[in-house]
A and B are shown apart, each in its own frame.
Chain A
Amino acid sequence: MNSTVTTDTLSPAPAAVETRETIVTTAEVDRSSRAPVLLMFVLAAVWFWVGSLLGMVASIKMHAPDFLSDVSWLTYGRVRPAATNAVVFGFASQAGMAVALWLVARLGRNLVQGALFIVVAVLAWNVGVALGVGGVLMGDGTGYECFEFPGYSSAVLLVGYLIIGAFTLITFHGRTERRLYPSMWYVMAALCWFPWVYATVQLLLIFSSVRGVLQIIVAGWAGHNLMSLWLAPLVLAAAYYFMPKAANKPLHSRALAVFGFWLLAIFGAYGGIPAGTPVPRWVAAVSDAGLVLGVTAVLAFATNVHLTLQGVYARVWSDSGAKFFIAGCGAYLVVGLIRAISVIASIGHPGALTITSMGTSQLFLLGFVSLVLVGAIYSISPQLSDRRSERPSFVGLNFWLAGLGAILVSMPLIIGGFVQGQALDNPALNFIDVVRKTVPFMGIATLGSLLVLVGATVLLVNVCRFSYLSWCSCCISEKPSTRFVKISGRGA
């Protein structure tokens, strides 16, 4: 069966739709999404590389504080947020939007609408990210975690987003396939949530400012939602699409997917303000309760994926492209469980401001978000170039670099945080000895960030090569190859 000509929804589309003359072919859909999606992939890969480099510099500074410490724009407190924001907005959000656009066109069987406008908006988005990263390095960071981009860049970013989002919605609206596959719900929901979260931050923190601890509440709430209701649903949409593809069988349970979706929508919106924060107790309690209950959404997703893959794990794992999805979903589960456990463990025990928090957010970003998105990029880009027989190279190597890198960056920090927490609780121990206990963990994390950087380089080279190839095939109008391949990476 040639997967490129079957419909991508849960079951094959009714024959009536296939035979309708107005139906667009998959090849046409792919061609319409080629320019904006490939452009976003290339720029996303560039930002991932920049973010990984800055992340490695920041990581080195944690155990070698004198490294590059004489230049103000490379001081730790600027490099760290610049790295995070480059990865969150430059890479993850951008690649997520590209995957979303591609999924909406593919699953809805509609040509991408307004591709030219999207291309312009993508450029605006990237100007916004560049201004933002530059601004943070120059010392203009706002001081709110995850939203350090100064006003002059976040405004550009938001305008770019609104255009991309609007045309994705228009593409969605004109879909010819009416049945909505779970990925579609996640994409559409994320596209609604993001502007709301981002605009709230801009209005209440950056362009004007609420009073005192209200800032902590807004920033904590928004920072949580940026991960949980923007990046996570985009990534879940990709996983829900590519997992069954890789397994070559339908998603185990649509009902469970519906259930998980609403659990995420309802509980996912609370978090980011842990107990002990100097805010009214009910705010922290609501936030923590939502965080713990939100694990149900993670479990629903993980169960569904597991049941889909049951029996075929070995076969799917042998496909280097599919490894990204399996490992990424595993990371999502681990992050959810660690967060819930630390909330429960912190009841009645104040403190817990350890480096564990950085470890879990790194695992979320580098393990879950990046792995799945890189897998999606590798699955989608060959389909966008006309030369479908071209395969990305070193995908397996990239997986091991990215996967081991994510583990080596996050796990030492997570474990080191527990050690640090124990040490902080013991007032007989001098603080400087507490510092000394955590430093070795930071050293291992640097090793991980080096692997991540090399992985990002492989990705960048691959993505650039693909764009170059499809650019050539566009201009030189080379006869398209007739060989069709499945999308789940090599073989499958």
Chain B
Amino acid sequence: MNYGPLIFLGVLLSFALSWYGVIFGSVLQLGNLQPATVPATGSFYPAARPGAAAQGRDIYRANGCAYCHTQQIRAEAEINKGKLVKYRGGDVARGWGIRPSVAADYIHDRPVMVGSMRVGQDLANVGVRQTNEIWHLTHLFNPKLVSPGSSMPSYRFLFEKRKIIRERVMDALPLSAESGAESGYEIVPKPEATALVAYLLSLRAEEPIFEAPAPEKPKPVASDTNSVPVAASPSGVN
């Protein structure tokens, strides 16, 4: 192997094969992926995130929540006589989702932050599990207040500490005295915090679609966004 050009050619060709196969191949297959039709209702899934949630996705990106949280449910389908019986795997058992995540779940997002490591829970469906905005804000302000023993960092810099003038403002966090709230002061979420929570509440990738049906048992398809979380596990924060 002393002939430079030949090495170059081999090096370029072997790499071109990978580029062409993996990158170009997937662009051909997925480049035009459109929202899926939901079999039960005939509506389209997913809907684009509303404005505040899209802004919140930027806060999520900027603060790197994805280094501790994934947004991908993994599960193996158990199929019996051509019918889906259930999904196997810890994710579904923990109530993090009723079906595995699929490509269609992500078409509106940029960047797509599926994450690769779970220090905290998977958040693909956190908007189904935790629907309370105040809970989320308090959690971001100081995770230990709502989740004792949490090792999630606090995001106090997304909040403003203000002196109370006459009366607490409407959107100040309802913190009790023992939770570290200084008397005479109130904690008000900055717009970033509210947007971030809007994003978290918009994380609901549970719609059963053709590629990823839900097993029949748990419950019929409901498009009511305020429905109770469909968790297989008894506790919501599991």
User: Does B118 contact A424, Cβ atoms closer than 8 Å?
Assistant: yes
Number of contact residues on B: which range applies? Answer: 35 or more
Contact status B149-A436, CB under 8 Å: yes
Which residue on A lies nearest to B76, using beta carbons?
A: A350
Complex interface: stretch among B7-15, B164-172, B220-228: B7-15
A81→B66 CA distance, assembly (Å): 11
> Which of A59-67, A326-334, A397-405 binds B?
A59-67
Does A315 reach chain B (CB closer than 8 Å)? no
B23 touches A204 (CB 8 A): yes
Q: Is the pair B151, A200 in contact by a Cβ cutoff of 8 Å?
A: no
Give Cα A172 to B8, complex, Å.
13
- From B8, B64, B91, B157, A80 is in contact (CB under 8 Å) with B64
Assess the B94–A431 pair: CB atoms within 8 A.
Answer: yes
Q: Are B1 and A180 in contact (CB under 8 A)?
A: yes
B27 touches A210 (CB 8 A): yes
In the bound complex, do residue B102 and residue A278 qualify as a contact, i.e. CB atoms below 8 Å apart? Answer: yes
Are the CB atoms of B112 and A139 closer together than 8 Å? no
Q: Give CA–CA (A14, B30) in the complex, Å.
A: 56
Contact A65 B106 (CB under 8 A): no
Which A191-242 residues have a C-beta within 8 angstroms of B?
192-193, 196, 200, 204-205, 209-218, 221, 225, 229
Partner of A350, one of B8, B89, B115, B116: B89
Cross-chain contact of B7 among A185, A280, A427 (Cβ < 8 A): A185
CA distance A319 to B12 in the complex (A): 38
CB of A475 closer than 8 Å to a CB of B = no
| A214 near B154: Cβ-Cβ < 8 Å | no
Query: A200 contacts which chain B residues (CB < 8 A)?
Result: 19, 23
Does B151 contact A63, Cβ atoms closer than 8 Å? yes
Given known A75-B63, A265-B15, contact A210–B31 (CB-CB < 8 A): yes
Which residues from chain A contact B41 at a C-beta distance below 8 Å? Answer: none
- Is residue B147 within 8 Å, beta carbon to beta carbon, of the partner chain? yes
Q: Is B177 an interface residue (CB 8 A)?
A: no
Interface hits, A424-474 → B, CB 8 Å: 424-427, 430-432, 435-436, 438-439
Q: In whole angstroms, how far apart are the Cα atoms of A432 and B237 in the complex?
A: 9
**B119 and A185 contact, CB distance less than 8 A:** no
Contacts of A140 in B (CB 8 A): 62
Interface residues of B in 82-113 (CB under 8 A from A): 88-91, 93-95, 100-113
Per-residue CB contact flags for chain A residues 345-371 toward chain B (1 = under 8 Å, else 0) read 000111101110110000000000000
Which 3 pairs of residues, A with B, have the shortest CB-CB distance? A77-B64, A269-B18, A139-B62
What are 17 residue pairs bridging A and B, where the CB atoms are less than 8 Å apart in the complex?
A: A62-B151, A66-B154, A69-B155, A72-B157, A75-B63, A78-B64, A139-B62, A215-B112, A216-B114, A217-B22, A262-B10, A276-B74, A349-B89, A350-B91, A426-B90, A427-B233, A431-B94
A interface, CB within 8 angstroms of B:
61-63, 65-66, 69-72, 75-78, 80-81, 139-145, 172, 178-180, 185, 188-189, 192-193, 196, 200, 204-205, 209-218, 221, 225, 229, 258, 261-262, 265-266, 269-270, 273, 276-280, 283, 286-287, 290, 348-351, 353-355, 357-358, 420, 424-427, 430-432, 435-436, 438-439
